Amino acid sequence: MTRPGPFRGVFTQQEPIPDAAIAAAVAVLRSGRLHRYNVVPGEVAQAALLERDYAAWQGSRYCLACGSGGQAMQIALRAFGVRPGEPVLTNAFTLAPVPGAIAGVGGRPVFVETTEDLVIDLDDLARKARDSGARLLLLSHMRGHLVDMDALAAVLARCGLTLIEDCAHTMGARWNGRKSGSFGFAACFSTQTYKHMNTGEGGLLTSDDAGFMARAIILSGSYMLYERHGAAPDASAFADARLDSPNLSARMDNLRAAILRPQLATLDENIDRWNERYEAVAAELRGVPTIRLPDRPAAERFVGSSIQFLMPGIDEEGARRFLAAAADLGVELKWFGDREPRGFTSTHRSWRYADPQVLPKSDRVLAVLFDMRIPLTFSVEDCAHIGRIIAHCAGYTGGAARVVHVGVAQMAHTGGE
């Protein structure tokens, strides 16, 4: 294989907001009624309409629109009743706002190991549930990888754990045909720019539990206007919540809701587009002996908005050379093995507000784990090109597997798996 030419695309460039969403946003701006409770008689606010639409799309009874995915998680934990100092289980491979949400409500993050398929280790979950006495698992389907949800359900039942799902990367994903976010007591979604719908910042919380959702709505800052919500329980569910729950002012406004509603209509189509692009990258990586792609079971219908791969045996210096070689050819990869947190990428070692924890299995995985965004502004051909660059930088010469590139010289000796 000859050295691929450089790639010139921009990894942080999203698609423009669709015209229908721009028109809806302009209508809200013209009305001046941006606050979700600012309506004229007979009007249903965009935020309430979004809650109705999203609940229907997700198949949940209730939905709350809020300011960010992180706020959705904090509200969920608080509405569930996490007490100060209470242990809350979560997976070690996740994004900073997840342990941040646990700490934010005064909880204590307890990290569960991650497997080399990038899902929660169910044996470690059972062990830590028992040892910590935790009531709750805040499971982050990190980078869209779904654990065997049936096996998880069995562990949850056995350990008496309640599940709250963080679906920031699994909006629209399914396990055996069932939507991610419908397996737990509640689910949190993000509409931040790099997720599956884009309002800059934004979050959605879903659940079928009336008491929980009433507390969540009051927590989000509904004052006594909770009847202006689009997918809320009856007023009777608020009898205590309206007086017992503090107002944390974490609402979504009508402008962002208006931008989201038209995007919901094209989400399924975009999922297919993401998956085509994911497959174009993955196809180039599959034959590369130094690279291991996580297993993706047939039951999992994922959303390929990003791709992850392991390079078993690569050492720190090799990883840096590999990253530099890819960057040289225009491919921006993230590496979870870095000692220093960079950009959006950090690990449990840099979350010092949590108790220090020993996670040898996750550390081994993270040390050799690379990650890349797949924006929809890239064509399928762009993605194949990117895949060829990664394969090249990983030492792939095509045909018989021989490792020659300096970036992974070390791996030739330690041997990939």
Closer residue to ligand PLP (CB): 49 or 98: 98
Q: Is 245 in the site for ligand PLP (CB under 6 A)?
A: no
Closer residue to ligand PLP (CB): 75 or 231: 75
CB of 94 to ligand PLP, least distance (A): 6
CB of 191 to ligand PLP, least distance (A): 7
CB of 290 to ligand PLP, least distance (A): 27
Q: Is 94 in the site for ligand PLP (CB under 6 A)?
A: yes
Closer residue to ligand PLP (CB): 14 or 414: 14
Q: Is 203 in the site for ligand PLP (CB under 6 A)?
A: yes
Count of residues touching ligand PLP (by CB under 6 A): 15
Q: Is 142 in the site for ligand PLP (CB under 6 A)?
A: yes
Report d(CA 237, CA 218) in Å as an integer: 11
Residues in CB range of 202: below 8 A, 6 or more apart: 65, 66, 67, 68, 69, 190, 191, 192, 252, 256, 260
Near ligand PLP in 146-175, by CB under 6 A: 166, 168-169
Q: Is 217 in the site for ligand PLP (CB under 6 A)?
A: no
Report d(CA 245, CA 239) in Å as an integer: 11
Q: Is 306 in the site for ligand PLP (CB under 6 A)?
A: no
Between the alpha carbon of residue 247 and those of residues 218, 221, 226, 407, the distances in Å are 6, 5, 12, 53
Q: Is 181 in the site for ligand PLP (CB under 6 A)?
A: no
Report d(CA 371, CA 120) in Å as an integer: 18
Instruction: Please give the distance of CA 396 from its chain centroid, rounded to a whole number.
Output: 31
Closer residue to ligand PLP (CB): 147 or 403: 147
The torsion defined by the Cα of 311, 312, 318 and 320, in degrees rounded to 10, comes to 50
Among 21, 24, 49, 70, binds ligand PLP (CB under 6 A): 70
Q: Which residue is nearest to ligand PLP (CB)?
A: 69
Render 7-43 in DSSP notation, one character per residue.
P---TT-PPPPPHHHHHHHHHHHHHT--STT---TT-
Identify which range of 38-46, 93-101, 110-118, 147-155 contacts ligand PLP by CB under 6 A. 93-101
Among 46, 60, 114, 140, binds ligand PLP (CB under 6 A): 140
CB 220 within 8 A of CB 86: no
Report d(CA 32, CA 176) in Å as an integer: 44
User: Facing residues of 86 across strands?
Assistant: none
Closer residue to ligand PLP (CB): 60 or 71: 71
Radius of gyration of the chain (CA): 22
Q: Is 60 in the site for ligand PLP (CB under 6 A)?
A: no
Per-residue tokens: 225 = 């206007």
CA atoms within 13 A on the CB side of 144: 30
CB of 260 to ligand PLP, least distance (A): 13
Near ligand PLP in 19-48, by CB under 6 A: none
Q: Can you give the binding site for ligand PLP, defined by CB under 6 A?
A: 68-70, 94-95, 97-98, 140, 142, 166, 168-169, 190, 192, 203
